[in-house]
Structures are given as C-alpha cells and as structure tokens.
C-alpha cells in the first residue's frame, strides 16, 4: 500500500509538472526548459538529503501524529476535489487546457535574447512546486513506515516513467485518467492519515498494520457513496436550472 | 546591503505561503476538522474504553469532515 500511495501520488504530481515543462519546451525552446527542470530536481534532491535523515531523530509518536495530521488534511483535500470532479460539480483537471494556458502566457511574455529567464523560471517553478508535494509525501510516508529508501526509489521510478511517457505521448497528457488516480491517492492518504494520527495518539489498531486495508475499504465505500449522492445533487441542480 | 534581508524575507514568506496553500488553501474547514479530530482523540485518551472509542470515532469524524466540506462546496456552487 505504501508503494501504491507513493507511486500514484508521484505520477499525478509529475503529470502536472510535465505539462508545464512541455509547454515551455515547445514554446520557448528545450534548453531553458531542461535547465529549469534540472535546477528544480537538484534543489528537491538537496531538500530530501537535508530533511529526510533529520526526521529520523524526531520521536516516532510525535512524527506519526504530525505526519498523520498532514496526510489526513492533504488526503481529504484530494478526495474532496476528486469527488466534486467525478460528480460534475467541478470541472475536470484538463491537461490540454493547462498546456494551452501556459503556452499563451509564455507567448505573451515575448522573445528574449540569450538565456531565456522566463522559460527557466516557469519550468523551475512547475517542477519545484509539484515536486515539493512529492517530496513531502515521500518523506512523511517513508519515515513513518521506516521505509524512506523504498519510498524514494518508488517516487524516482514514477518520475522516470512519467518522463518517458511524456516523451512518447508528447503533449497528449489529457489521456491520463488523472481524476481516478487522484481519488485512489486520496483514499490511501486519508487511510494512512487516520492510521498514523491514531498511532501518534497511542491508539492500538486491531490487527496492527492490517487495519490499513480495513480503513482503505471503509474510505473507498464512503467515497463511492459520496460520488453517488453528489451526482444526484448535480442532476437535481441541472433539472432545477432547466425548469 | 538592503538586498539580503529582502531576499531572506521573500524566502520566508514564500515558505510560509507554500505551507498555507498546502494545508489550508481554499478548504480551511478541513484544516480545522483535522485539529478537532486530534483534540477529540486526545480528550478521549483521558477516559475509560479509550481505544475502542478512538477506533470508531477517528474514521467517523474524518468522514463527517469530508461530508461537511462537500456540503460547503455544493452551497458555494449554488450561489454562483
């Protein structure tokens, strides 16, 4: 489950980062896009190297409580967003639209002579901000489960895979079922968040780690019921508007 | 000389802004709900049958928090 959560979360964030990098590369040239991406990856690597080992010295119960709370909040945010999108109350995250928007912004900035600062900053910002979310998830999930190495490797594989897919599919990232991925990650994050918040507060879960499966099943059913109920709400709103 | 504090201030502000967007963003109710959940479980730990109660209360409160946030989103969409 840890592997699945880290892998899926990394994929979702990296698809978003890749959209921006592709927009920068196609519009303003690949050199600045790659430089910005490389610089962001270096800074993110330094952050993992600096904060990852330091977290090992924090008492486990305190660490699990903080990690649990962060994952619970973040997971609920992802679940809320994906439920609203699945029920039609919120527009689906359209990578094509994000791509077009980024291209328009970059074209409006005009051309630059020499090193393209705008392209560098945009690629750096896109990769750094999306990557920072991956770093937080890797560090929090990895340290709490005492598997920081495994979590880092899985995130690395996800980043490489998404990068390769980006090269193959070019800019057709809208074909990635992002909302379904986001919903699955949301369920896993809330599951881990609940579990570790409890562990941090000295709750003894029946069955130990096996309870993670039980919590994931509960939250999956809850999510399904919320989507059904919200879809009914959406269709009632649509009928009310057309009447 | 004035450049350095300015850069440091911007970095600190950017760092704070990132965490604010990451944890609070446009769903402050979920942030507050997480704090309430921790508070309730901490209070329960002072009572008897803490473990059994916490096992039930934790996922129930998380589900209620999510439901509350969804209701808020529906209300906001109706106003638009």
Question: What pLDDT, in 10s, does the model give residues A183-221?
Answer: 888 898 899 899 989 988 988 899 888 899 999 999 999
Q: Where are the domains of chain A?
A: 2-234
- Nearest CA-CA partner of A117 in A222, A191, A29, A7: A29
pTM, two decimal places: 0.76
ipTM: 0.88
Which residues in A lie closer than 8 A to residue B18 (C-beta atoms)? 129, 132
Question: What pLDDT, in 10s, does the model give residues A91-135?
Answer: 766 666 666 777 777 677 665 555 677 788 888 888 888 888 888
Question: What pLDDT, in 10s, does the model give residues A145-175?
Answer: 778 788 888 888 888 888 887 777 655 555 5
Tokens (6 digits) for B21: 């967007």
Contact status of B41 with chain A (Cβ, < 8 Å): yes
How far apart CA A76 and CA A97 sit, in angstroms, is 25
Q: What is the DSSP string of B11-60?
A: HHHHHHHHHHHHHTTT-HHHHHHHHHHHHHHHHHTTSTTHHHHHHHHHHH
Judge whether A193 and A73 are in contact, CB under 8 Å.
Answer: yes
Tokens (6 digits) for A140: 């929090």
Among the partner residues A80, A83, A203, nearest to B54 by beta-carbon distance: A203
């Amino acid at each position: 489950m840890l592997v699945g959560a880290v892998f899926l979360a990394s994929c979702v964030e990296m698809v978003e980062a890749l959209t921006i990098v592709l927009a920068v590369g196609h519009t303003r040239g690949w050199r600045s896009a790659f430089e910005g991406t490389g610089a962001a990856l270096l800074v993110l690597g330094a952050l993992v190297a600096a904060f990852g080992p330091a977290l090992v010295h924090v008492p486990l119960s305190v660490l699990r409580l903080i990690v649990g709370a962060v994952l619970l909040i973040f997971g609920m945010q992802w679940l809320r967003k994906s439920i609203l999108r699945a029920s039609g109350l919120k527009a689906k995250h359209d990578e094509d639209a994000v791509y077009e928007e980024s291209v328009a912004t970059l074209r409006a900035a005009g051309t630059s002579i020499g090193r393209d600062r705008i392209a560098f900053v945009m690629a750096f910002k896109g990769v750094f901000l999306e990557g920072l979310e991956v770093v937080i998830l890797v560090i929090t999930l990895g340290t709490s489960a005492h598997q920081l190495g495994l979590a880092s490797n899985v995130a690395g594989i996800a980043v490489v895979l998404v990068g390769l897919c980006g090269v193959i599919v070019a800019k057709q990232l809208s074909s990635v079922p992002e909302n379904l991925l986001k919903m699955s990650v949301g369920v896993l994050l809330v599951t881990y968040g609940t579990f570790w918040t409890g562990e941090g507060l000295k709750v003894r879960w029946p069955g130990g780690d096996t309870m993670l499966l039980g919590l994931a099943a509960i939250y999956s059913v809850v999510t399904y019921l919320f989507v059904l109920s919200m879809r009914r709400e959406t269709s009632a709103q649509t009928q009310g508007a057309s009447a | 000389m004035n450049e350095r504090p300015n850069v440091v201030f911007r970095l600190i502000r950017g760092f704070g802004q990132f965490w604010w967007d990451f944890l609070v963003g446009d769903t402050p109710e979920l942030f507050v709900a997480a704090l309430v959940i921790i508070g309730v479980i901490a209070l329960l730990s002072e009572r008897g049958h803490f473990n059994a109660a916490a096992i039930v209360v934790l996922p129930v409160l998380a589900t209620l928090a999510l439901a509350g946030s969804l209701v808020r989103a529906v209300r906001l969409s109706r106003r638009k």
